[in-house]
Amino acid sequence: MKIEILKENLKNGLNILERIVGKNLSLPILNNVYINAEDNFLSMSSTDLETAIKLWILTKVIKKGKAVSPIKFLSSFVSLLPNEKIVIEEKNQILEVECKNFKTKIQGQNPEDFPLIPEFSNLEFLEINNKKLCQGLSQVVEVVSISQSRPEISGIYFSFSKNILKIVATDSFRLAEKTITLETAIKKDISFIIPQKPAKEIINILNEKEGNVKAFISPSQIMFEFPMKDLPHPQFQIISRLIEGEYPNYQAIIPSKFKTHIILKRDEFLNQIKAASLFSGKISEVKIIVGKDKNEVEIFSKDPDIGENRSTISAKITGEDQEVSFNYKFLIDGLNNIKSSEVVFELSEKEGPCVLKPVGDLSYLYVVMPIKST
Amino acid sequence: MKIEILKENLKNGLNILERIVGKNLSLPILNNVYINAEDNFLSMSSTDLETAIKLWILTKVIKKGKAVSPIKFLSSFVSLLPNEKIVIEEKNQILEVECKNFKTKIQGQNPEDFPLIPEFSNLEFLEINNKKLCQGLSQVVEVVSISQSRPEISGIYFSFSKNILKIVATDSFRLAEKTITLETAIKKDISFIIPQKPAKEIINILNEKEGNVKAFISPSQIMFEFPMKDLPHPQFQIISRLIEGEYPNYQAIIPSKFKTHIILKRDEFLNQIKAASLFSGKISEVKIIVGKDKNEVEIFSKDPDIGENRSTISAKITGEDQEVSFNYKFLIDGLNNIKSSEVVFELSEKEGPCVLKPVGDLSYLYVVMPIKST
């Protein structure tokens, strides 16, 4: 294998691929990048066996071939090279790198030992607008359950029905749902659960890209593919296993009736919850006290060792006065997922699920369970 | 105690003071800030018993008095308050804080329990230009010995003689010396050693300030004081214990003769050392090979498990060809302390001390010992 590539192109590619590589001691080949020089293209892949990323770079290929090289090492090294053309040649599993003033040899491994990255090319696919997908995913991706005792809620649920995609995550204390309208309706409804890690990679890799991403779905895996315009290879593929199991019937817990409906300034509310959190004690409790007469919401928290905090925020209130307590972390997460300047906060019967959502945007809602007030 | 203060002023003061506060379990009073409301001024102090910082803020004092409050907690809380006037009142060791929409109580402690911050007001002092002091300190402060087996080289040596101040640090593998010319000669030569932590605080607190700082020296302590123009109190005081013991006769190890004299581009040299460091193995060895004929310096490193790296940098060379090996960390530290675009690198006899210094600036030098080449 021998190629000529610009430093920046190689560096950018390695930076994307190295993110999913940890320090795998039981299978050290996974700490490497798999490099394949084909006709005019260099493809590079990395995998942790659950998620794989593959990308293509238009490159001058002097001699086709494959190589495997330690990815974090190669990435650190390449980032220190001058911004020039790099010539890379593989000889007996050693990568010889030449770049203005530098002559370097990096010990690699046998490309045959690298796990196969699955291919999906003949499957049917769905198309989703990139920015909508990434924005929606980023509003739900942190809400999944950390515990692996119920694996199905450790991932993000995608549910396609006609021209509607719903992206959902929950950890049983709160739930986030994003609704995306597709440009074209799909033929057959489909749903699946993808793990959190590849979902985060989709956001990181595709967030700033214009255009559509294609999703190819097999019974146990999914591939998100982002095309390279007018060229035979895609720019990126993100491949993930799917999580087995049935996603809970989450729609049953989204309340349809509320006792109190509040509209608040989002930034001020978030800041007051943060201040209250400092006084919230071991159970992280902050109390929301709605007083309709005064057109304001009071936020109260108290820790006998530290002190107490009381703040007020003006609000548009309809419905009944009441006091409800929450774990402040769940309120902060919900407010962080909402970017509008005002939020709707709907409170149910005491200890029933409540809802946060952006004002003027029906596509997102965040359900949060109160805690029993002390 | 009752005062009225702007949020920003209080926040900035706390941010400076909290830096030296850790999490002291044996003497928890040290995790607090000492607050004293005097005529028109609020003074606040923190200490770790080795270093103390005290600062004054012009403030509306409604009622004089003292208070002690948990500093990191107070700082986190204040940073979340709106940018408005804050009214703070002390009642029975509780700080009552009121700021637009907020009413808060923070449990404090007895001001009597807070350690006394020493006073220096009647001593003679030296005056040093702030920027020169901070710039010089930052060029030597990281070179001190981490080990406490020789406490005298764990600190920074200040030596005043007539109108010359030399600031020195060494860990016995390398040494940095900065020479500062004072505006007025001092009457009596004096030298002392201050610990690294207060030296870093001087840089952090005074770095961006115009003007002179005063140094008051007692036999066991030093105070750096930065004035507040036309006002009866200073802005800041940084007080530190001095390190006992005699500083080594460091000037004996600064070589006066060299075998090889090299001028190199600083950024390129630094980058090539960093790249070489990746291949430098367990003993961190990079080899510098000087070839006068080619007007270039070669940098070589090799690790049998990883690979090898060879790079070249064009240089102006006088004197003899030679190969010298260094711990790459010491070269990187030295180059990081030099900001000029070109550096002088002077090599002695093999395994003798070498010197890095900025081109066109005689005020700084960095002596580094080679390692025995493998």
Interchain proximity B77–A107, CB inside 8 Å: no
Contacts of B106 in chain A (CB under 8 A): 306-307
Q: How many CB atoms lie within 10 A of CB A300?
A: 20
User: What integer pLDDT is reported at residue B40 of this predicted model?
Assistant: 94
* Residues A259-307: tens digit of each pLDDT: 999 999 999 999 999 999 999 999 999 999 998 778 999 999 999 999 9
Residue type, A245: G
Measured between beta carbons, the chain A residues lying within 8 angstroms of B307 are 94-95, 104-107
User: What is the spatial distance between Cα B333 and Cα B176, in angstroms, rounded to a whole number?
Assistant: 10
Question: Which residues in chain A are closer than 8 Å to B313, comparing Cβ atoms?
Answer: 101
Asked if the structure places residue B120 within a domain, the reply is no
Give the distance from residue B308's alpha carbon to the nearest chain A alpha carbon, in angstroms: 5
Looking at the fold, whether B227 and B321 belong to one and the same domain comes out as no
B269 and B240 in a single domain? The answer is no
CA distances B332 to A17, B139, B266, B368, Å, are 29, 13, 10, 11
Q: Which structural domain, as residue segments, surrounds residue B154?
A: 125-251
SS (H, E, C) chain A: CEEEEEHHHHHHHHHHHHCCCCCCCCCHHHHEEEEEECCCEEEEEEECCCEEEEEEEECEEEECEEEEEEHHHHHHHHHHCCCCEEEEEEECCEEEEEECCEEEEEECECHHHCCCCCCCCCCCEEEEEHHHHHHHHHHHHHHCCCCCCCHHHHEEEEEEECCEEEEEEECCCEEEEEEEECCCCCCCCEEEEEEHHHHHHHHHHHCCCCCEEEEEECCCEEEEEEECCCCCCEEEEEEEECCCCCCCCHHHHCCCCCCEEEEEEHHHHHHHHHHHHCCCCCCCEEEEEEEHHHCEEEEEEEECCCEEEEEEEECEEEECCEEEEEEHHHHHHHHHCCCCCEEEEEECCCCCCEEEEECCCCCEEEEECCECCC
- Judged by CB atoms closer than 8 Å, whether chains meet at B80 and A271 is answered as yes
Residue A247: closest CA among A146, A163, A175:
A175
Domain count within chain B = 3
- Picking from B70, B76, B278, the nearest residue to A77 by CB comes out as B278
Q: Alpha-carbon distance A107 to B368, whole Å?
A: 31
- Nearest Cβ partner for A274 among B80, B82, B95: B80
pLDDT value of position B293:
79
What percentage of chain A reaches a pLDDT higher than 70? 99
Is residue B137 located within the same domain as residue B241? yes
CA B141, B145, B149, B152 torsion-angle sign: negative
Statement to judge: residues A238 and A270 lie in one domain: no
Q: For residues B16 and B32, give the distance between their C-alpha atoms in angstroms, rounded to a whole number.
A: 13
Domain endpoint, select from A65, A90, A113: A113
CB contact under 8 A, B102 and A309: yes
B312 three-state secondary structure: strand
Question: Quick one: pLDDT at residue A123?
Answer: 74
Same domain, B26 and B143: no
The answer to whether the Cβ–Cβ distance between A80 and B309 falls below 8 Å is no
Instruction: CATH number of the domain at A345, please.
Output: 3.10.150.10
Chain B residue with CA closest to A309: the answer is B104
- Size of the A and B interface in Cβ pairs below 8 Å: 84
Cα gap A48→A28, rounded to integer Å: 11
Share the mean pLDDT of chain A: 94
Distance between B105 CA and the closest CA of chain A, angstroms: 5
Within a domain: residue A373?
A: no
Distance (Å, rounded) from C-alpha A153 to C-alpha B66? 53
Average pLDDT over residues A118-135: 87
The 10s digit of each residue's pLDDT in A165-208 is 999 999 999 999 999 999 989 989 999 999 999 999 999 999 88
Shared domain for B223 and B154, answered yes or no, is: yes
Residue B349 lies in a domain: yes
Q: In terms of domains, do A223 and A265 share one?
A: no
Euclidean distance between CA atoms A25 and A47, whole angstroms: 14
pLDDT-above-90 percentage for chain A:
88
| pLDDT tens-digit map of A303-325 | 999 999 999 999 999 999 999 99
Q: Specify whether A9 is located in the same domain as A61.
A: yes
Residue finishing a domain among B234, B251, B268: B251
CA distance A170 to A254: 12
Tokens 């709707």 — which residue? A344
Nearest alpha carbon to residue A36 among A12, A66, A68: A66
For residue A294, the model assigns a pLDDT of 80
Distance between CA atoms of A33 and A76, rounded to whole angstroms?
13
Tokens 């779905």 belong to A217
Tracing tokens 């003769």 back to the chain, one arrives at B257
Same domain, A230 and A315: no
Q: A292 CB contacts (<8 Å, ≥6 apart)? A: A317, A318, A319, A320, A321
Instruction: Report yes or no: A311 at the B interface, CB cutoff 8 Å.
Output: yes
Residue B61 covered by a domain:
yes
Measured between beta carbons, the chain A residues lying within 8 angstroms of B312 are 101
Q: CB atoms < 10 A from the CB of B248, how many?
A: 16
Per residue in A24-33, pLDDT (tens digit) is 889 999 999 9
Q: What is the largest CA-CA distance in chain A?
A: 80
A103 inside 8 A of chain B by CB = yes
Residues 34-63, chain A: which have Cβ within 8 Å of B? Answer: none
Number of helices and strands in chain B (H, E): 6, 26
Strand partners, B176: B169, B366
* pLDDT tens readout for residues A212-229: 999 999 989 999 999 988
* Among B174, B132, B200, B207, CA closest to B357: B174
Whether pLDDT at A23 is above 70: yes
**Is residue B118 one of the residues assigned to a domain?**
no
| Cα atoms found within 13 Å of the Cα of residue A370, Cβ hemisphere only | 21
- Answer whether residue A119 is part of any domain: no
In a domain, A118, yes or no: no
User: Which of B68, B311, B332, B335 has the highest number of chain A CBs within 10 A, making it the mutation to test binding with A?
Assistant: B311
At residue B260, the pLDDT reads: 95
Quote ipTM for the complex.
Answer: 0.90
Integer angstrom CA distances of residue A301 from A129, A287, B90, B373: 43, 6, 20, 64
- Cβ(B264)–Cβ(B245) under 8 Å? no
pLDDT at A118 over 90: no
Q: Residue A351 has what pLDDT?
A: 82
Q: Which two tokens stand for residue A67?
A: 């190589």
Those residues whose C-beta lies under 8 Å from the C-beta of residue B209, and which sit 6 or more positions away, are B130, B131, B226
Residue B84 CB partners (closer than 8 Å, separation 6+): B6, B7, B99, B100
CB spacing of A80 vs B274 below 8 angstroms: yes
> Could you give the residue ranges of the DSSP H alpha helices within chain B?
7-18, 71-79, 130-140, 196-206, 266-277, 328-336
Q: B40 and B103 in one domain?
A: yes
- B105 close contact with A: CB closer than 8 A: yes
* Residue A71 one-letter amino acid: I
pLDDT at A374: 61
User: At A57, phi and psi to the nearest 5?
Assistant: -130, 130
Q: Are A181 and A192 in contact, with CB atoms under 8 Å apart?
A: no
Please check whether residue A182 is in contact with residue A165, taking contact to mean a CB–CB distance below 8 angstroms: yes
**B231/chain A closest Cα distance in angstroms:** 35
Distance from C-alpha of A96 to C-alpha of A216, rounded to nearest angstrom: 37
Amino acid at position B143, single letter: V
Give A91's contacts in chain B (Cβ within 8 Å): none
CA of A4: how far to CAs of A9, A57, A86, A286, B256, in Å? Answer: 11, 11, 6, 59, 48
In a domain, B374, yes or no: no
Q: Is residue A225 located within the same domain as residue A259? A: no
What residues of chain B score a pLDDT lower than 70? 121-122, 373-374
Q: Are A285 and A371 in contact (CB under 8 A)?
A: yes
What pTM did the predictor assign?
0.92
Helix (H, G, I), strand (E, B) or coil at B296: strand
Neighbours of B311 (CB within 10 A): 26
pLDDT the model gives residue B229: 86
Task: Let me know whether B305 and B292 are in one domain.
Answer: yes
Last residue in a domain, options A62, A84, A113? A113
Q: Is B101 within 8 Å of A312 when comparing Cβ atoms? A: yes
Asked if B306's CB is within 8 angstroms of A107's CB, the reply is: yes
Contacts of B76 in chain A (CB under 8 A): 278
